[in-house]
């Protein structure tokens, strides 16, 4: 999947069944959050900048690779 230099939106990721499955497997609690519907316009880059405070870079790199293969 083309992540558009991390400018792809969450909405676009969620529209792709394989990418959605990666996100659901890696972040099951986040995917159930009530604000997920409002976050569709956030970019992957914005998500990564927030996630870096909570998720090790190695894990983020693994997730990005999975999304690229989706």
pLDDT computed for residue 62 by the predictor: 97
- DSSP secondary structure string for all residues of 24-66: HHH-HHHHT-GGGGGGTT-BHHHHHHHHTTTS-HHHHHHHHHH
pLDDT for res 37: 83
**Quick one: pLDDT band at residue 64, thresholds 50, 70, 90?**
very high
Domain count, the chain: 1
Q: Name the residue range of residue 23's domain.
A: 4-69
């Amino acid at each position: 999947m083309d992540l558009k230099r991390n400018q792809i939106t969450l909405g676009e990721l969620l529209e792709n069944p394989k990418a959605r499955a990666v996100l659901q497997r890696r972040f099951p609690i986040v995917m159930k959050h009530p604000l997920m519907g409002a976050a569709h316009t956030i970019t992957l880059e914005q998500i990564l900048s927030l996630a870096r405070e909570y998720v090790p870079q190695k894990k983020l790199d693994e997730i990005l690779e999975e999304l690229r293969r989706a």
